[in-house]
Structures are given as C-alpha cells and as structure tokens.
Amino acid sequence: MPELPEVETVRKGLENLVEKAVIQEVEIFWERIITGSRVGESFKKALVGEQLQQIRRRGKFLLLDFDRYTLISHLRMEGKYEVVPTDEPLKLHTHVVFHLKDGRDIRYLDVRKFGRMELVLRGQEETVAGIQRLGPEPFADVFLLEPFQAKLSRIKKAVKPALLDQNLVTGLGNIYVDEALFQAGIHPLRPGNSLTPNEAAVLHQSIIEVLGKAIQAGGTTIRTYLNALGESGNFQQDLKVYGQTGEPCVRCGNPIQKTKVAQRGTHFCAHCQKLTEENVLPVM
DNA sequence: ACGGCTGTTAGTCA
DNA sequence: ATGACTAACAGCCG
C-alpha cells in the first residue's frame, strides 16, 4: 500500500477503530514479519494485556503506542491491516493476528511478506535503524527550504533516487516522487546538485503540495482490492503522470513517457521536464 | 506460458 | 558517494 498519505490514512482509520483496545492474545503465522529483539513468544508475551493508547506515524512507519511498548510497523509494498470479529475466517496472507478483549481482531495481511514490525520499549523508537535515517516530515513547518537546498547541492546522484531515500524529506515513494517532479517541471534524472536554487524551491513546494493534497484525498488506491483499511483513497483521480503512460500531458498535450530510473518505473513529460536546467514551470 | 512488472527497503559489491 | 544488483515474496498481465 504505502507512501506517506496511505500510511496516514491507515493510521487514522486504525486509531478510530481500536484506540484503547486491550490485547488478549497474539498469533503469528509468518515469523519473519517480526524483527528485532522481541520475536516469537517474547513478542506475544510482551503484548498480552497491553492497551493501545494512540497511533502515531513517522514517515511511512506506523507507531502503535501501548502502555509499556511501541509497535513499529512498516507496510512496505503490500502490508494491510483489518479489524474484524474474531470468529471471522482468516483471509489468505494473514500473518499476524492481535486478538482484542472486546471480541475483535486486528489482523496484519501482506501478500508479498515484505512488511516488518518490531516491538520496542516506549521511547525507544528512535533506536530503530529505519527511523533514525528519516529526514523531516513533508510539511511546511518542519520541511524547510534552506536545508533542503543545501543538502541537494551536495548530491551528485539523480534527483529521483535522492528523493526516494527518505533522508532529504520523508514520505515520497514511486508515485508521489513522479508527481512532484512533474509539478516542478524537473526531469527525474537531473543530478541533485544541478538544480538551481529556484528549481529546488519549486520542487520543495511541489513536494509539500502533492503530499498534502494526497493526504486530504485519503491517499491513492491502485490495483488493490476493496475493504482493507485505508483503501478508500481517491487521489488516483488527481495523478498527472503516474500510470498515465501515453496519455496527453495535462500541461502541454504531449504523451506521457515511461522509462526506468534507478530500477523503478518512471513517468514524466519529455516536453515539460527537460534534462537541461531552468525549465521551471509555475506551480499549478 | 513465462518473463517482466509491481505504492519498499536493506544489504553487498565494485 | 553512487550505481548496479540482489533479496525478501506472490500475483497479475500480455
């Protein structure tokens, strides 16, 4: 599922459904989903009797705060949660089940089994490697232009993979990075240090806008089926380049192209996003 | 029918 | 530092 807007949608949905719920029992059907020092029996035992206090999000990570522990959950490509009555049959690809005292389950499903969860003591979430590396949240109050420009000016690699690695700013994935680069009129292969200060500023603003609008829309739902938490998004209607291969560019009418950049499918308009500098377009 | 794709990240190697 | 490649997996599409 997840880039930041989808994870945020899951966070809100889960919190509304199960805030203050108490765990009665935990079942694990695919052990490798759980990482860190508390796995298997020790993972289950720690969680029994714990009450869920709140759910936070950092980048694409969900942080479920219990009394003594925080469950850090990353959905990777296809992880999903559902909340259903305990007597409901398990769906295929259900890997972890948290039985609640109120007769419901929180269930974790993940077709490709790429998702990971780790249980740490409250307050220890910053010790998890994936979280330590994260840059600022993509919001105007914490994602500041000048540090972004400064870091970008020292990056020689292409701007698309630079934005995907979560250090400059957290939350972009393959969909929203293509959308933000399109909105900014910047070619995905431009080296980070080739962007002018003005281009960096337009890109910075585009990232904030694209992710902000996607959060408002409840995220993007593509190719995944109904009913799992957080799949009620409708930002797919607002995608300008992702999945629009061959369709006319909304800005100039030329067909959207698809290539590969850093091993990822990459959508862009060859007319609006040139490989040469200073092709900046006004923010839409 | 199979090879290449897929909203991710971490690791290795040159 | 960076890019290429792999691994973790399963399903879908042409």
Query: What CATH number did the domain enclosing A110 receive?
Result: 3.20.190.10
Range of the domain at A39: 4-132
Cα separation, A182 vs A278, in Å, equals: 14
Please list the helix, strand and coil fractions of chain A in percent, rounded to the nearest 5, in that order: 30, 25, 45
Listed residue (A134, A142, A144, A138) closest to A213, CA to CA: A138
- Would you call A3 a catalytic residue per the annotation? yes
User: Which tens digits make up the pLDDT trace of A234-280?
Assistant: 999 999 999 999 999 999 999 999 999 999 999 999 999 998 754 44
User: Which tens digits make up the pLDDT trace of A164-220?
Assistant: 999 999 999 999 999 999 999 999 999 999 999 999 999 999 999 999 999 999 999
- Would you call A88 a catalytic residue per the annotation? no
Per DSSP bridges, beta strands A116-121 and A34-35 are parallel
Same domain, A153 and A119: no
Same domain, A9 and A106: yes
Judge whether A21 and A101 are in contact, CB under 8 Å: yes
Q: Known binder of ligand: residue A112?
A: yes
What residues pair up with A110 in beta bridges, in sequence order?
A79
- A244 in contact with nucleic chain B (CB within 7 A): no
User: Which tens digits make up the pLDDT trace of A19-36?
Assistant: 999 999 999 999 999 999
Which range (A8-17, A203-212, A222-231) has the least confidence?
A222-231
Same domain, A74 and A157: no
Same domain, A126 and A217: no
3 state DSSP class of A113: coil
- A188 in contact with nucleic chain B (CB within 7 A): no
pLDDT reported for residue A125: 94
Same domain, A152 and A263: yes
Residue nearest to nucleotide C12 (CA to C1'): A223
Element (H, E) at A8: helix A4-18
